[in-house]
Amino acid sequence: MKSANLALRFLLELCALGALGYWGATAQARLFPRTLLAIGAPLLAALFWGMFVSPRARVVLPTTVRMVLGLAVFAAATAALIARGRVTAGVTLGGLALLNAILMIVWRQDVMTAQ
């Protein structure tokens, strides 16, 4: 079950990036700004994740802060889906992300790995 939770975390990360890309690609804007949003939003989220949330993050933060920042990324992806009318997908992503975070804390999967 613990391995499945880690796999779920990875899939949720990919879904969050996809949701942010979808949000940008479906923006009510001309092609160039829409393309920038479709590429830029997931890219910024991935950079943020790598710097602060990842188990091998460059900036070492307390576990609670890292978990909150991770949930903030998932909340942004959830809001992005809901903003584009994909309410069921957004609520599902947000709910699974919350459940995953709780299980990571309970099973101590939230601790930083050795650098």
Predicted confidence (pLDDT) per residue in 8-43, tens digit = 999 999 999 999 999 999 999 999 999 999 999 999
Query: CA-to-CA distance for 92 and 71, rounded, in angstroms?
Result: 14
Say which amino acid occupies 24: G
Cβ neighbour number for residue 5 with a 10 Å cutoff: 17
Find out whether 46 and 17 touch, Cβ atoms under 8 Å. yes
What are the pLDDT digits (tens) for 89-104? 999 999 999 999 999 9
Q: Is 44 left (phi over 0), alpha (psi -120 to 50) or beta?
A: alpha
